Amino acid sequence: MLNRRYRPTANNADQAMLFPKNLDSTTEFWANWEDEEVIAIQLAMIKQALNELNDHRRSEKMRKEAWDWLFSDEDHPFCSRLCASNNGLDIDCLRSLVRRLVKDL
């Protein structure tokens, strides 16, 4: 088996910094997420779900998954309700608007 070292390119240099230099490391946790980073990811998840619902080029399955996530009442760190709340959005209002706009799911 060839022993190749990972070399970041211009396209993935930012992503490469998320991983340890030694990819054979046994470290289980080596990154610290700031609250602002998690909140930004949560907002990106909401935007992604809305984009998928709006984009009719996406498969029905993908659009349905976005719908299910947005309307789910599960309670976990990346549930739609918490993602909205952490970004100053009212999930019930957002859901109401989405229901009025999306009629084909």
| Segments making up each domain of the chain, as ranges | 33-101
Residue 1: pLDDT band (50, 70, 90) is very low
Report CA-CA distances (Å) from 40 to 59, 64, 78.
Answer: 26, 23, 11
Radius of gyration of the chain (CA): 18
Q: What's residue 40's pLDDT?
A: 95
**Cβ distance 95 to 70 under 8 Å?**
yes
Q: Which two tokens stand for residue 8?
A: 């970041």
Q: What's residue 103's pLDDT?
A: 80
- Residue with the two structure tokens 């700031």: 34
How far is it, in rounded angstroms, from Cα 36 to Cα 39? 5
Q: What's residue 77's pLDDT?
A: 83
Beta strands of the chain (E only): which ranges? none
List pLDDT tens digits, range 50-103. 999 999 899 999 999 999 999 999 988 899 999 999 999 999 999 999 999 888
